[in-house]
Amino acid sequence: MPQIEMSAPLSALDDLGRPVNFGWARAPVFQYSASLIHRGTAGITESDRYIIFSSTHLLIFEVLDGGYLGYIGISIISLKDKKRSTQYYIIPFSMGSFELPGSSETGSIRIQQKKSIVGFIVMDGGVRIIKVDIPKFGHHRHLRGEVVLSPPPAAESMVTHMPWRRGQKAFCLSRRSPWYVAEGVMQFGTAELIFTRGNAWGIFDWNRGVRPRSDVRYWASACGQSGDLQVGFSVGYGSADASMGTENAFFVNGKLHKLDQVTFHISPSSWLLPWHFTSNDNRMEMTFIPHQERFEHNRMFLHTLKRRQVIGSFSGKVVLDGGGELLFKDITGVAERRKTRF
């Protein structure tokens, strides 16, 4: 089945809450509203995640509302000495209480747990601001500051709307934008984590949908500078039916170059050995050199979420839509496998 590109606004759900209009787009054209879903809030999964990094640190900010299991997660990872600090807030029966917006283009998020505050603010022109104030983060150090994420002019995103192979009412609506320029400062104890234009980048990962009983997903993304070009990519696959639109794309200065299927070749003996990525259309080939890996395991009653994530650098080549070949080297990013069961 050929991939179906959508360009005009259309609904991701019909009047009965059933997913319709599957495919992919370069902009958030799929209109979503959780109020249309008749299955109930326990089956809805919504998340916003930001990954920002400089030459010295990588930070992950995530808010996830999984119905029975909700959490806010923040991680600070040193790319130099491999030290990591992580803070999680587990919220039982979140059930839509985070009030995550139905659009990836509008609506801000502010969540407070006691004295800790995490905020994602959407500004005009696609600019986003991450604000954090956590008095006792990790080893009782204060984490406080803000980072501004700015998109390149006329940037495009990898937007997909997929059904699941199992479950007629389950679907996954996603947007991936691996091209932000990051600027700001995070005060972490006595250390300052500084993000400056041209040396720091950001990735936005947005997901809304109704999950099946179980799911396994692979995803990798990176962003950085290759010569005088800003490059990035988002690739992945899993249990969802991607026949009408895969989630794979390469970006140059924010412009999307669509790929078909991408396969992750991972050594069964160790995830810290080099990975290889290939595409069935022979347009992308790259190697991933892992730097460190981290594990997450969150559980609430029968709902479990396991994530194995590897951080490192990507190098390779890609054939762009116009036929030209682009080489890139040592672009920082992440690769992961995520398992959920309900």
**Local confidence pLDDT in tens for the 342 residues of the chain:** 579 999 999 999 998 888 999 999 999 999 999 888 875 556 899 999 999 999 999 999 999 998 888 889 999 999 998 889 999 888 888 888 899 999 999 999 999 988 999 999 999 999 999 999 999 997 689 999 999 999 999 999 999 999 987 767 899 999 999 999 999 999 999 999 999 999 999 999 999 999 888 889 999 999 999 999 999 999 999 989 999 999 999 999 999 999 999 999 999 999 999 999 999 999 999 999 999 999 988 776 667 889 999 999 999 999 999 999 999 999 999 999 999 887
> What pLDDT, on the 0 to 100 scale, is given for residue 41?
55
261-266, long-range: CB < 8 A, 24+ apart:
261/237, 262/235, 262/236, 262/237, 263/237, 264/218, 264/220, 264/237, 264/335
Phi, psi dihedral angles at 41 (to 5 degrees): -65, -20
CB atoms within 10 A of CB 301: 10
Q: Length of the chain, please?
A: 342
**What is the full DSSP assignment across 77-117?**
EETTT--EEEEEEEEET-TTTT---S-SSS--EEEEETTEE
Chain centroid, CA 163 distance in Å: 19
Nearest to 259 by CA among 248, 270, 269, 274: 248
Alpha-carbon distance of 268 to 23, in angstroms, equals: 33
> What pLDDT, on the 0 to 100 scale, is given for residue 39?
58
Q: Which two tokens stand for residue 174?
A: 């996603």
> What pLDDT, on the 0 to 100 scale, is given for residue 40?
59
The C-alpha angle with vertex 131 and arms to 142 and 151, in degrees rounded to 5, equals 135
Are β-strands 128-137 and 116-122 bridged in parallel, bridged antiparallel, or unpaired?
antiparallel
> What pLDDT, on the 0 to 100 scale, is given for residue 2?
76
> What pLDDT, on the 0 to 100 scale, is given for residue 67?
83
> What pLDDT, on the 0 to 100 scale, is given for residue 148?
98
Alpha-carbon distance of 142 to 17, in angstroms, equals: 44
> What pLDDT, on the 0 to 100 scale, is given for residue 168?
74
> What pLDDT, on the 0 to 100 scale, is given for residue 94?
86
Torsion sign over Cα 308, 90, 247, 289: negative
The pTM assigned to this predicted structure is 0.96
> What pLDDT, on the 0 to 100 scale, is given for residue 42?
62
Alpha-carbon distance of 18 to 98, in angstroms, equals: 23
